[in-house]
Amino acid sequence: MHDWTILCDFDGTIALDDVTDALLSRFALPEWEAIEARWRDGAIGSRECMTAQVALIDASLDEVDAVLDALPIDPAFPGFVAEARRQGMPVQIVSDGLDYAIRRILARHGLSDLPIRANRLLHDGTRGWQLASPHADAACGEASGTCKCAIARGHDRVLMIGDGLSDFCVSGVADFVFAKKKLITHCRRAGIPHRPIVDFSDACALLDTLPELVGDTLPELFPLRVHLA
């Protein structure tokens, strides 16, 4: 299955928490929540939202690192990466989150070699922070900091793994989706080929059957233990 590339979201998918929200809730001025509400209402795109929010962070590098070092990931993810590589399927992180945070967290689990495409978190050397978006696309309908659709279109066959709003658009571009949480409901409603997962132990178990899953046109039998929260 060497022609498959796995694109994997980070916040809420690999990381058990939303890393950006963890930093904002700890260090940002209170205005970040009003900006978040504007994004959820559709008034602004995620790139504009996060750029404004990150500028509100007041924290030293050591303070940020201390929060990042306490955030857990799915314990099955390293094993999933090893199995995917064994089967010849490269794994890339595609995230509308923060590259520095992702790299630091993954390095703690021996995964510093994973390719990452995410927003760039820039520190001014004291307590100020800024956001850059090197993977944005002017044609992105979601106005995201990282256009996952553009990244997916650069590969022959894509398995997308995600959980939330930032994965809705790309799930329609991918060849198949392993979906968590809100993405399950979206894929069901949009008729997108997928399988629901709870964690990466589920995803790992499904890798061997990916060709059959892609070719299966029968209605899904969803695992009873999957929750849509």
Site of tokens 């030293």 = 60
- In the prediction, which pLDDT does 187 show? 97
Strands 129-132 and 157-162: unpaired
Q: Is residue 68 part of a domain?
A: yes
Residue 177 lies in a domain: yes
* Cα 172 to Cα 193: distance, rounded to the nearest angstrom: 9
Buried/exposed code over 118-156 (b: 16+ C-beta within 10 A; e: otherwise): bbebeeeeeeebebebebbbeebebbbbbbbbbbbeebe
CA distance 116 to 99: 7
Cα angle value 198/203/206 (rounded, 5°): 125
Residue 195's SS3 state is strand
Q: What is the pLDDT of residue 222?
A: 39
pLDDT in tens, 10-19: 999 999 999 9
Question: Residue 229 falls within a domain, yes or no?
Answer: no
State residue 126's pLDDT score: 98
- Whether 228 is covered by a domain: the verdict is no
Q: Total structural domains in the chain?
A: 1
Q: Over 90: is that where the pLDDT of 223 sits?
A: no
Query: What 8-state DSSP symbol labels residue 185?
Result: H
What integer pLDDT is reported at residue 215 of this predicted model?
Answer: 79
Say which CATH number the domain at 191 has.
3.40.50.1000
**Structure tokens given for 32:** 């970040």
116, 95 contact by CB (below 8 A): yes
pLDDT above 80 (res 173)? yes
C-alpha torsion sign, points 191, 192, 198, 203: positive
Q: What is the DSSP letter of 127?
A: S
Tell me if 223 is assigned to some domain: no
pLDDT computed for residue 220 by the predictor: 44
If you average pLDDT over residues 122-141, what whole number do you get? 96
Q: What is the tens place of the pLDDT at every residue in 109-127?
A: 999 999 999 999 999 999 9
Res 128: pLDDT: 98
Q: What is the mean pLDDT of residues 41-52?
A: 96
Q: At what angle do helices 99-107 and 61-68 cross, to 10 degrees?
A: 60
Q: Does 161 have pLDDT greater than 60? A: yes
Question: Does the residue 225 lie in any domain?
Answer: no
**pLDDT for 1 beyond 70:** no
221 or 196: which leads in pLDDT: 196
How would you classify the pairing of strands 116-123 and 129-132? antiparallel
Lowest pLDDT segment from 33-42, 184-193, 213-222: 213-222
Mean pLDDT over 148-158 rounds to 96
Q: Is residue 209 part of a domain?
A: yes
Domain assignment present for residue 27? The answer is yes
Angle at the Cα of 12 (from 227 to 71), degrees rounded to 5?
Answer: 125
Q: How confident is the model at residue 59 (pLDDT cuts 50, 70, 90)?
A: very high
Amino acid letter, 206: L
Residue 17 lies in domain:
4-215
Give the H/E segment covering residue 123.
strand 116-123
To which H or E segment does residue 122 belong? strand 116-123
Residue 216: the pLDDT is: 63
- What is the predicted pLDDT for the residue at 214? 87
Cβ atoms of 22 and 67 within 8 Å: the answer is yes
